[in-house]
A and B are shown apart, each in its own frame.
Chain A
Amino acid sequence: MGNGDTPWAANEPVGKSAAAADYRAAQATRSAVVPGDPGDPGLRPTRDEGSFSLTGEMARKLARDQPPDNPGPVPAAPAVTAEWALWGKETSETAYHVLRCSDGVFSRDDFREVITRYASGVRDRLPQYTVCWIPSAQGHHAYLGVAIHELADPDPARSGGRSRIVGGREVEYVRLFCVLYSEMAKFAVSYPNLVELVTGYQLPVGNASPIRIELRAASGRHRTIAAQFRVLAENVAALLLTTRPVCVLGAEGTTAEDRLRFIELVMSLLPYGLRSRLSASTWASSTAQDLKLRLFFANAPRDDGKTSHVTWGQPEPPHLSGEYEAVRLYLEWLRRTGSGAAPALAGMTEPPMRFTRENVYWLVDHLPTDRSVTETLEELAQNLRTADQAAIWTGVERLTRHLTSQDGRFKAIDREACRQVIVRRGMLKRHPALSQDTKEGLYSALLQLAFDTPFTYASYCEVERVVGGPPRGTLRKVLLQLKFSSFMPLLLAARAEPTFRDDDLAAALAQVHVPPTEPIDEVAQLTGKIRPEHRAVAYDFAANYLRSARDAWSELKERGYLAETLNDLFPRDLEAQRTRLMETLRFMYGGPLSQSQIDDLFSDSRLHLTGAFEQAVLSMAASRGAGREIARQAAFARLSNAGFEDEALLLTEGTTERYRPPFRERVRQLPRRTVTTAALFFVIAAFVVYLLVTAAYH
C-alpha cells in the first residue's frame, strides 16, 4: 500500500524542522479525537477514526447539479404491486379497526385478521416493524407482508389525515403492505428494502388501488449489521430450524430499523422459500399470550417453555441436543460456506417450505452450491450487454446479498479477482439503457466488490483509469456516498462534474469537523504520489480550506508559506508556484510587501526557500529597488538553511562594512509609500509653522 492508501488519521507527521514535526504530531492527535457520531452514519455527519463519510443530504447537495446520464426517456425499474391497509382509529372512534384498505385481493376482514393475528402486545417505543406471511387460500396466492407500527406524524401535512391522539391516548397505527410472494422471490426483495420503498405511502383517504412500487437499491446500513452480528444471526437461523420461536433479548438500545436489518440477516441465512412461513417482529411483549411470531425482540424472557432465547451481542453457540443433529449440520454448513451461503439460499425460492423436522432434513440433504462472485459478475456483464432489466436487478441483488453476508471477511485475492472482471468487462462504464435505481445499485455493488473501504486515492485513480476519465453521472453520485479514507478521493469525485463548486465541499468538510489544516497536510505528505493532473485541484482546494482557519496566518507561517509543498507539487513549473505563493502572501499581508515585511519573511526559520518564493516576494515588493536586497536576504537564508549559519552571519556583517550603499541609493530603496508619507508630513508641519509665525506677528 502506498501513501495514497494511507488512512486519513494515520498520516505520519512530515516536515523538516522539529517544531513542524511536533506541531503536526499535535495536529494528528487532535484529528484523532475529533468527535465522531456513534449513531447511524446514514443519518448524521460521521467522522470515524481513519475515515469519514458524508451524510446523505451532503452527498445529494454535492450531486445536485449533476445532469442525467440518459438524455432520452428513462427506462422503468422493476416493480412489485402491494395490497395495503391502514389500522387505527378515527377521531370520533374508540375502537381499533381497519380504517381503509386497497380494493384488491384482500377484503377488509382479511386485513383485520392478519393485523390482529400478528399483534405482539404493547410496545414501549414506536415505530416498530412486523413481517409476516399470508398463505395461499381462496383464490389468491401466497403473500408476504410488512407492518409498520407507528404514531401519526405531528405534522398534519405528513400524517395522511390521521390523528395522533384519540380519546386521551396515543393511537398506534399500523400500515400493512402485502406483496405477492412470487414477486418478492423473483427479485429477492429484502424486508428493510421493502420498508424503505413503502415508507412514504401514508395511505390517505381517497385512492383505494393497490400500489405499484418501483424497486431500488437498499441503503448500505445493513452491511454494518451484517459485519457485527453475522455469527449471532447464524445461531438464530439454526435455532429457528428447531421449529421453536426465538426471542432476542438485550437489544433495547438498538433502533427498530437495525433490528429489522438483523431479522433480514437471519432470514437471508435461511432458504428464501421459508419466508412464506416466517413471521418476525422488532418488538413483542413478553407477557403477550399466544404470539404468532417465530422471531422477535423482547425485554424479558418468556416462560412458555418453548421459546429459545439469545442475547444481543453475545454470539455464543447454541446448545443443540442430539435430536437436532440436522440443525447442527446446517449451522456447520453456514459457518463453512460463509459469504456464499446467503446468495445461494436466496435462490431457493420454491415453496412449499415449512418449519418442520422433515423439511430440515430435506434442506440439509439439498444444501445449495453457490455460484462464485466472479461467475455472478460475468453473468451480470453479459446481461448488461443485452440490457435485461430483470436479470440485471436479480444479479445486483445477488451481489448485494453476497456483500451483506460476507461479514468483512472478503479476502484480498477475491477482491482482486472481482476487480479484474469488472475492469475487463468495462462494467463501471455508462449504461444508458438501465433505470436510475438499477444503475445506482449496480455501481454501488461493483465499487464495493472491487475496492476496499474506506475508498482511497489509489482506488479513485483506478476508477478513472477504467472509466477513461473523471467519473460522471450516476457513478459519481454513488461514489460520493462511499466512506472515504481522506479528502483527496472525495474532492476528486466531487470535482468530476464541471459544475461543482468548492464551497459546497468545504462546507461539508467543516460540517464533519475536518480541521482546516488536514487537507493541506495530506497534500504535503502525498506530493510525489499525486498524479500531475490532480495536483493543481488538490493544492488549490486544500490551500483555500486552510485559509478558513481561525489562525490561518500562523498556520501558513508554520508551514513555511507552503513554498516547499508547491516546489514538490510543481517541480518544473516556477510560474505555477509563483502565482500560488503570491496568493498566499497577498492573503497574509494584504498587498505590496514593505522592507520590514520582507525582512520578516526571510528571517523565518520555518521557511524552505525556493526560487519561486524569491520571485514571488520580488513581484510583491513595494519598492522597485528592493531586488538587490531581496537577493542578498535570499542568499543569506539559503546559507542558513544549508547549515552555514556562521558563514551567513559573517557575510551579513561583511556586506555591512564593504557594501554600504551611498545615501541616494539608500533613499531610492525606501518604499514609495514611506517617502510620500514623509513628504506629506513635512508639508503639513511647514504649514503649521507658517500659521504660528504669522499669528505671532499679528
Chain B
Amino acid sequence: MASRTNGSQPPPAGPPGITMLGARQTGKTTFLAALQIALLRKPDLGWSLRGENPGSTKALIDFVNDMSDNHVFPQATNAIENYRWSLEGEFPKQGSWEWQRWRFRRRDRIVSIPLDLVDAPGESADGRQMFGRAVTERLVENLAQSSGIVVFYDPVSEFDRGDAFRHTFGVLTQLRSMAQRKGRLPHYVAVCITKFDEIRVFESAYKLKMLEIGAEVEEFPRVPDGDAEAFFGRLVRLSRSDNAGLILPLLHQTFRKERVRFFVTSAIGFYLNPTLGVFDPDDYQNHLPPVDPEPAKIRGAIYPINVIEPILWLGENVRTAG
C-alpha cells in the first residue's frame, strides 16, 4: 500500500475516555505500561488487553518489551498521548441461556470495555504554566470529555517536591469552569497512591499496620482498598508543602464522593528473589536508582500491584455511563 487518502470522513468517535492526571514523574506512563503485564500475571481474572488501532497496539508491545525485557522505565511523555485499548473478558457459562445439543445451556459471556486512555506530560497540569498553554488547554478539554480520571499521587516525590496540589488545583478549577451544569462533576475518579514498592512508602504502611498479605503464591503485601483513603490521609501529612492536605477536600468538592475511590498501587511491584519465590521483607526494592551514566532500571520481574483494579473499576463504570 503506497497511499491511503482517507477521504473526508470525520475521525471515528471514541468511547468516553479515561484521562491520567498527576504531577511529573508520578508514574502515569509506567502505570499504563504495566497494565498488560498486570493482566498476564492474573489470568484468573479472565481479562485481556488489546489495541484498538495500530499505534496503540504498537505502544502496548513497546511498553511490555521495554519493561520486561529491557528492564527500563518508559520514556517521559512530552505530548498528549492517546492510547485506545480495550479490556476483553471471557467468562464461561455466564451468558444467556440457549438451546444447544438437546438442552438449554448457558453461553459464554464476552465483555469488552473500551479504554480511551489519555496520558499528558505532568508539566501540562502545572498551575505555574511551565508547559505550553495550548497543551494545558488540551488536557483540560480531555478531562472534560472523559468519564473517568485517574489521579496519581506519588508520596515519594510529594515528600521531595510537594507539588501535587499545584498540579491538581488549577486543572480541576478550569475543568469545573467548563462544566455545563452546576454541582459536582459526574466523573469517576480513581486516586492511585503510587510507588508502593518504594521503601519509604512500604515502611509507612507497615508502621501504620495497614498491610495484609495478598492471595497470590508470592505473598506480596498490599494495603486493602478499604484502608487506602486513610493511608492517603496519613501520607499527605508528610508532604513537603502545607497544602497537600487540601487535595482530598478538593477532590470531594469537585466530584461526587461515591465516585471517588482510592487504590494503593505499584506499577513494577516488589522484587521477588527467584530462588525464594516469595516476598522477602529484607530484600524487596525493585527500582534500581540511576547510576551515571545509566538511567534508573527495574531490577527483576514485574509484579504490578493494584494496577488493573482501578482501570477495571473505571472501565466498567465508564461503560455504564457511556
Q: Which residues of A contact B (CB under 8 A)?
A: 94-97, 112-113, 115-117, 119-124, 154, 164-165, 167-170, 172, 235, 239, 242, 244, 285-291, 298-311, 314-321
Contact = CB atoms under 8 A, between A and B. Distances in A.
A304 B14 CA distance: 10
Given A121-B77, A306-B6, A309-B4, 8 more contacts: A154-B293, A172-B78, A235-B2, A242-B5, A303-B53, A308-B6, A310-B2, A319-B4
Given A95-B122, A164-B293, A112 B55 contact: no
Nearest to B79: A119
B132 A116 contact: yes
A154 B293 CA distance: 8
Contact of B6 (A121, A299, A307, A316): A307
A555 to B, nearest CB: 50
Most chain B CB inside 10 Å of its own CB: which residue of A291, A301, A317:
A301
Contacts of A117: 132, 134
Nearest to A305: B11
Contacts of B133: 113
Given A96-B123, A235-B2, A305-B9, A286 B292 contact: no
A121 B79 contact: yes
For the complex, would chain A's binding face be called helix, strand, loop or mixed by DSSP majority?
loop
A189 B78 CA distance: 29
A249 to B, nearest CB: 9
A308 B134 CA distance: 25
B3 A168 contact: no
A135 to B, nearest CB: 14
A319 B295 contact: no
Interface in B75-119: 75-84, 118
B130 interface: yes
A317 B77 CA distance: 36
A642 B231 CA distance: 107
A562 B233 CA distance: 94
A300 B12 contact: no
Interface stretch (B56-64, B182-190, B242-250, B311-319): B56-64
A114 to B, nearest CB: 9
B75 A122 contact: yes
B163 to A, nearest CB: 9
Contacts of A302: 53, 55
B7 A321 contact: yes
B43 interface: no
A239 B5 contact: yes
B296 A172 contact: no
A285 B81 contact: yes
B131 interface: yes
A304 B53 CA distance: 10
Nearest to A168: B296
23 contacts: A96-B131, A113-B133, A116-B131, A121-B81, A165-B292, A165-B293, A165-B294, A167-B25, A172-B75, A235-B3, A289-B138, A291-B79, A299-B58, A301-B53, A301-B55, A302-B53, A303-B11, A305-B12, A306-B6, A306-B11, A308-B6, A314-B1, A319-B3
A300 B55 contact: yes
A94 B27 CA distance: 13
Given A290-B138, A311-B1, A94 B131 contact: no
A169 B75 contact: yes
B128 to A, nearest CB: 9
A308 B5 contact: yes
A170 B66 CA distance: 14
B274 interface: no
B157 interface: yes
Given A116-B135, A168-B295, A305-B6, A289 B80 contact: yes
Contacts of A314: 1-2
Interface in B259-292: 289-290, 292
B54 interface: yes
A115 B59 CA distance: 23
A168 B5 contact: no
Looking at B10, B58, B84, B123, the one whose CB has the most chain A CB atoms below 10 A away is B58
Contacts of A121: 77-79, 81
B54 A303 contact: yes
A299 B53 CA distance: 12
Interface in B124-144: 126, 130-135, 138, 142
A289 B5 contact: no
Contact of A169 (B5, B9, B73, B135): B73
Nearest to A313: B2
A169 B77 CA distance: 11
Contacts of B56: 286-287
Given A168-B289, A169-B295, A122 B77 contact: yes
Q: Which 3 interchain pairs have the tightest Cβ spacing?
A: A116-B132, A286-B55, A316-B2
A169 B123 CA distance: 15
A239 B3 contact: yes
B28 interface: no
Nearest to B292: A165
B3 A316 contact: yes
B161 interface: yes
Nearest to A167: B25
A672 B277 CA distance: 91
Contacts of B79: 116, 119-121, 285, 288-289, 291
Given A94-B161, A288-B79, A301-B54, A165 B290 contact: yes
B221 interface: no
Nearest to B160: A94
Contacts of A319: 3-5
Contact of A94 (B24, B82, B295): B24
B121 interface: yes
Given A119-B135, A290-B80, A306-B11, A315 B6 contact: no
Contacts of B55: 285-287, 298, 300-303
Given A116-B132, A119-B78, A288-B79, A320 B58 contact: no
A311 B2 contact: yes
Interface string B20-35: 0000110000000000
B56 to A, nearest CB: 6
Given A121-B81, A244-B5, A311-B1, A300 B76 contact: no
B2 A318 contact: yes
B51 to A, nearest CB: 9
Given A94-B25, A95-B126, A303-B12, A287 B82 contact: yes
A646 to B, nearest CB: 73
A300 B54 contact: yes
Residue in B3, B7, B25 whose Cβ sees the most chain A Cβ within 10 Å: B3
A671 B74 CA distance: 84
A570 B130 CA distance: 79
Contacts of B11: 303-306
Contacts of A169: 25, 73, 75-76, 290, 295-296
Nearest to B3: A318
Contacts of B132: 112-113, 115-117, 119
Interface string B168-188: 000000000000000000000
Given A94-B25, A112-B132, A119-B135, A288 B81 contact: yes
Nearest to A292: B134
A169 B76 CA distance: 8
B130 A289 contact: no
Contacts of B24: 94-95
B3 A310 contact: yes
Contact of A315 (B2, B9, B10): B2
Contacts of A164: 292-293
B81 A112 contact: no
Contacts of B81: 121-122, 285, 287-289
A244 B294 CA distance: 41
Contacts of A317: 2-3
A510 B2 CA distance: 43
Nearest to B133: A113
Contact of A116 (B73, B77, B83, B134): B134
Contacts of A306: 6, 11
